[in-house]
Structure 1
Amino acid sequence: MYLGIDLGTSSVKVIALAQSGELLAQCSCALSVQHPHPLYSEQDPQQWWQASEHAIEGLKKQVDLSTVKAIGLSGQMHGAVLLDAAGDVLRPAILWNDGRSYQQCVLLEKLVPDSQQRTGNQIMPGFTAPKLLWVKEHQADIFAAIDKVLLPKDYLRYCMTGEYASDMSDAAGTMWLNLALRQWDDTLLHATGLTREQMPTLYEGPEVTGFLKKDIAARWGMSCVPVVAGGGDNAAGAIGVGVTRPGQAMLSLGTSGVYFAVSDGIHRNPDSALHSFCHALPHSWHLMSVILSAASCLDWIAKLTHYESVSQMLSTLDTALLEQSQVTFLPYLSGERTPHNDPNAKGVFFGLTHNTTREHLVQAVLEGVSFAMADGVDALHQSGYQSDEITLIGGGAKSAYWRQLLADTLARDLIYRAGGEVGPALGAARLAMLGTVPHANIDDCCPQPELLATHQPDRKRHQQLQQKRTIYQALYPALKSLF
C-alpha cells in the first residue's frame, strides 16, 4: 500500500491506498490557527508534526502499515517555515492567508521589475517571498538566524527524513521559482536577502526525496520506505481526481476556494490576479484562481448562528430550498486574491431586514462564496482558457445543495467523483505509487475515480442568481475605500 499525507490548514489527513487504487483507510487530526493581530495568520509547525503522528496512529488501528511501500506528501501552499542551523523552528509559520506583507510585495516588484515574467504571477501577500521581506524588516534577529526556508509539507518531510526538499508545484507558489526553467531564481532570492543554499532541493512530484528515518519507521510500524516529493495541495488534489491533462479542470471547496485548470504550457495573466504554477507532474503547468475563504465561511457562519455543526446546518437547506432572499454576502473574511488582490477586503452582509432568518444568512454565505468562485472562473476564461470538464473536490463538495448551487451559478455541468474529500492526500499517495512502482505511468496511477453525481444547471435559477450576483459585484468597488 501507499500513504498520502495532506497537511491542510484545518487538519492533517492521512490515507492508505492499495496499488489497485482502492482507498483502504483514512484518518485526520484537527489543527488550530492563530490570528495574533489583524491580517496575521500563523500556525505552530510542531503542532503539524504532532497531528501527523496522531493521524498515523489512527491509521495503524485500521490497516497493517508494515506493507507500506512509499509515502507522498501534500499540503497548504505558501507558508513560511524558518529553521536555524540546528533545524529548530525560529518562529510560528506565516500562512497562505496572512495579509501583513502587502508593502513588501510592492517593494519586491520594484526590486525585480521583471518578476512577473520570471514567476508568471503578480506578487501577493499570501506568497512566501514577501513574508521573508517582512521578517527581515520587522524581526531582523530571526532573519539573521535563518539557515533554511521550508514550505509546510516540506517541514513534515524534514521531520520524517532529515532531508530539505520540495516539489515544483509548491515551490512555484513562493515567488522564488523561475516558472519556465523549473529552478530557483537567484535574482528573486537575492532581492529577499536569501541564497540558493537556504532553499530546499527541488524535485518533480513523483521523484524520491529521501527515506523514512529508522526511529520514525519503527514507531509507525513500517520499514524505511521512500518519501516522494509530492505536491502543493491543489496540484495533488487535481491528481487525486485525475485532473492531469489540458482541458481538465476542478473546483476545490476547502478552507480556500480554487479553480484549477491544467494548461498546455505556460500561460501568464498576472493582471487578473490569476496564478500560473507548475503542476506536480513533470513538464506540466496549470492556471489557478484562488479565493481565500470558501468552506471556512461555512464553519464561521455555523458557529455564529449556533448550529451544532456544518453538516447539520446544511441539512436544513438540503431539505427545503429557500425562496430567494435579499441578503448578499461578501466572503472576504481573510481578504481576497482573485480578482481583487486586496488583503484589506472584509466580509459583508448586505440587505438585512427584520425578516432575515439564520437560514437566510447561511444561504447568503453559500451564494456569496459561489459568486466569488464564479469571479475566479470568469477571470480564467477571460484569459482565453476553456475547460472541457469541471470536477468538484474538497470537504465543501460533500453538500449536494452546494454542488447544485455552484452549477446553477456557473451555468456549467459539474462532476462529483469518489475521493474528492481526500483529494490532496489521494493525489500524494498516487504520486508515491507513480514514483516507486516499476514502469508506472500516469494513466495507470492517476485515473479518474468513480463518478458519483453530475449536476446540470437550472437555467431559471441561474437567471435569478445572476441578478443577485450583479448586486454582489457592485458591493466591493462601492466599499473598497472603506476597507
Structure 2
Amino acid sequence: MDYYTLGIDLGTQSVRVLAVSVTGEVLGSGMQRLTSQKSGVRHEQNPEEWWQSVSHACRQAIKDLSPDALQAIAVDGTSGTILLVDQTGQPLTPGLMYDDGRAIEEAQRINEVGAEVWQQLGYSRMQASWALPKLLWLLHQQGSFTPGTRLAHQTDFINRRLVGHEVPSETSSALKTGYDLFHLNWPHHIFDLLAIPASILPSAVIPGQQIGTLSAQAAIQTGLPAGIPVIAGMTDGCAAQIGSGVTQIGDWNAVLGTTLVLKGVTRDLIHDPLGVVYSHRSPGNTWLPGGASSSGAGILTARFPGYNLDALNERAKQRGIVDIIAYPLSGRGERFPFVAPHAEYFIQGKPSDDIDLYVALLQGVAFVERLCFDYIALLGAPVDGEVHFTGGGTRSSYWNQLRTNVLARPVSLPASPEPALGMAILAASHGRQLASTAESMVRIRERIVPERGQKQRLAQLYIRFVDALEQRGWLAAHVAEYARKRTGL
C-alpha cells in the first residue's frame, strides 16, 4: 500500500490539494477556483467558498487512492488573510485578503504603540496589509461584538472546519498579527493599548504540531477518512519554501516570478534595521527569514508585451553578456534589498536592438538577486548552503544559467516546488525531523553549475550596477561597499 499525506494550499485564485507518497511521488491532485471581490485597495473573499473549494479539491485528489493509506493533513494559507468568527466558528466578516490595504490609519497607530516590540521581533514596523492592522480595522468597523468572537487566520478557519472544534493558530500565520515568536505568546500590553481584548485572540502552536483529527462531519464533506491527524501548517510562502527542499541552515530558495523573493534558514533570528527582512519560526527550532523585491520577471511583461519570450531567450543565448546596466523595475518603488519609495527603472548604455535590452534586463534581475544575497549576508545570515531556484522564471534555461553565473555558485531546480507539496512534507514530518523528511520527498530535476570564463566580467558589471544604485541615493554606502568587497575584485 502506498502511504501518503495530503497538502492543502489556499492560494489567492484557487485551492490546490496534493496527495504525496513518503518518497515524494505525487499520487493525486485536486484544484478548485476561488473568486475575489476587489476594488482599489479592498480585497475580500468568502470564507465559505474556501471550505467548499477545499472539500471539492480533496475529493479530486484521493478519488483513485485508498483512503486508508492517508496518514495526515496540513494546510497553508495566504499570509495576513484574516476574518472574525463567532463562538461556533461561523464567519462574521468576509475574509480580508493578504493585500487588502484599507488599514492605513490602524497601521500608523500600531507602529506608534508597538515600535519597540516590532523592532525586537526583527521586522521594525507593520504594513497596512498585515493582519494586526486589519484586525484593528475590523473591530473599528464592527463597533461592538458579541462574546465568543474570535480572530481567525485563513488556516484557522479551515482547520476548525476539518477538526470540528476551536483550534490554536500556528505561529507562521500569527506573525503578522504581532505574535511574539521569541516567548511564544501575545504581547498583551500592546494589545491593551490598542483596545484589542485578549479574549478575541487564539492560542498558537509552532507549525508541525498536531491540532486535532478529522471530524466525522468533515469526513462526509471532503471524502477523507475520519480520525486522520490534522497538523498545524504555515503561510503559503513558508510552505513553498519547504516544498522547494530548503530546510537546512544556510540554504536559500530564490523564487523568481513577477517579483523576486528570497527565503532561507538560519539558526538565529535576523534583525533588519530596514524592516524588509522578517523571519518565521520553523518546526525544527530554526528561523525562516525572507524578503521580497519589487523587481523581477514583471519587467519582461512591461517592456516586451506580446513578444515570444522563448524566441527572445534563444537569441539572448547567442548574444551573450552585454555591457549595459539596467535596473529592472516595472513599477515605482523598491522594498528589498533596499527601501527606496521613489526608485524607478533606469538604463545605462545604449542597446543596439531588442535583444541587447532583453539581455540587460535579465542581467539586471540577476544583479538584484545577488545584491539580495549580499544584504542578507551583511545582516549576519549564513548564505553558504544550497540555493534552489523556483518560480515561473525558471522556465527559461538561459536565465537559470545566467543567474547561476552571476551568483557564481551551483544551483538546484526542484521538480515540484509548490506550497501544497510543502504541506504534504510537513504533515509527513510529524514525529520526525523536517529536514530529513524533506530530503526524502523533494525531487531535484536539474543541477546547474557556473560556466567558466564568466565570473570576472559579470562581477565587474555587478559592481557598476551597485555603483549606479549608490549614486542615486537608493543604496546605503556601507551596503554598497560590502557588496563590492564580496566580489573579490
| Pairwise TM-score range, normalised by the shorter structure | 0.7 to 0.9
> Do 1:415 and 1:453's aligned partners in 2 also have CA atoms closer than 8 Å?
yes
Query: Which residue pairs with 2:396 in the alignment?
Result: 399
* Letter in structure 1 aligned against 2:81: G
Give the C-alpha shift of residue 230 in structure 1.
Answer: 1.5
1:426-465: CA deviations, max 9, x gaps? 2211221222xxx633354221633322242642345446
Deviation of residue 292 (structure 1)?
A: 5.6
2:50 and 2:365 mapped to 1: Cα distance? 28
Alpha-carbon contact 2:136-2:196 (below 8 Å) kept: no
Matches within 5 A, 1:396-435: 396-420=393-417, 422=418, 424-435=419-430
The residue that corresponds to 1:454 in the other structure is 448
Name stretches of at least 5 consecutive residues in structure 1 with no aligned partner: 308-312, 479-483
8 Å contact from structure 1 (residues 290, 376) kept in 2: no
Other-structure match for 1:179: 181
1:142 offset after TM fit, Å? 7.7
Normalised to the residue count of structure 1, the TM-score between the two structures is 0.80
Aligned length: 459
* Whole-angstrom CA distance in 2 between matches of 1:364 and 1:103: 40
Alignment-derived partner of residue 246 in structure 2: 243
Q: What displacement does 1:362 show? A: 6.8
For residues 11-26 of structure 1, the aligned pairs below 5 Å read 11-26=14-29
* Structure 1 position 112 matched with structure 2 position 114: yes
User: CA offsets, 1:250-274, max 9 Å, x none?
Assistant: 2123565321221112232243521
Letter in 2 for 1:450: R
**TM-score w.r.t. length of structure 2:** 0.79
**2:9 aligned residue:** 6
Q: Distance in 1 between matches of 2:404 and 2:222?
A: 43
Deviations 1:330-371 (A, max 9, x none): 1447x65434557x76875768999875x7887676556545
Question: Match of 1:227?
Answer: 230
Contact kept, 8 Å, 2:316 with 2:358, in 1: the verdict is no
Alignment partner for residue 84 of structure 2, among 79, 82, 85? 82
2:387 — aligned with what? 390
Structure 1 vs Structure 2 CA RMSD = 3.7
Q: Is the 8 A contact 2:77 2:236 kept in 1?
A: yes
Q: Which residue of 2 aligns with 1:157?
A: 159
> CA contact under 8 A between 1:329 and 1:472: conserved in structure 2?
no
Residue 8 of structure 1: how far off its partner (Å):
2.4
Q: Secondary structure at the match of 1:446?
A: helix
**CA 1:234–1:316 in 2, change beyond 3 Å: closer, same or farther?**
same
* Structure 1: distance between partners of 2:33 and 2:299: 16
Q: Which moved more, 1:104-113 or 1:380-389?
A: 104-113
1:116-170 CA distances to partner (integer Å, 9 max, x unpaired)?
A: 2443222231321122233445x24487899222222332223322333322222
Distance 1:123 1:467 in 2: 32
SS at match of 2:39: coil
Question: Contact 1:16 / 1:25 at 8 angstroms: preserved in 2?
Answer: yes
Q: Please give the residue correspondences for 1:43-442 in structure 2 after superposition, counting only pairs within 5 Å.
A: 43-125=45-127, 126-137=129-140, 139-141=141-143, 147-162=149-164, 163-174=166-177, 176-224=178-226, 225-253=228-256, 257-279=260-282, 281-291=283-293, 294=296, 297=298, 301=302, 305-306=305-306, 313-321=308-316, 324=322, 328-332=327-331, 337-340=335-338, 369-388=365-384, 389-420=386-417, 422=418, 424-435=419-430, 440-442=432-434
Rounded Cα–Cα distance in structure 2 between residues aligned with 1:298 and 1:68: 43
In structure 2, C-alpha distance between the alignment counterparts of 1:143 and 1:372, rounded to whole Å: 47
Which residue identity does 1:392 align to in structure 2? F
Give yes or no for contact 1:272–1:379 (8 Å, CA) kept in 2. Answer: no
Equivalent residue letter for 1:127 = W
Q: Equivalents in 1 of 2:339, 2:88: separation in Å?
A: 37
Letter matched to residue 330 of structure 1: L
Q: Which residue matches 1:445?
A: 437
Structure 2 counterpart of 1:320, one-letter code: R
| Percent identity (aligned) | 26
Report the Cα distance in structure 2 between the residues aligned to 1:10 and 1:471, rounded to whole angstroms.
Answer: 38
Structure 2 unaligned spans of 5+: 476-489
Given the superposition, is the C-alpha separation of residues 369 and 197 from structure 1 closer, same or farther in structure 2, using an over 3 Å criterion? farther
1:399-423 Cα offsets, whole Å, 9 max, x none, are 3233234324444432212222x2x
Query: Max radius of gyration: which structure?
Result: 2
Distance 1:210 1:362, change over 3 A: farther
On the 8 A contact 2:56/2:222 being kept in 1, the answer is no
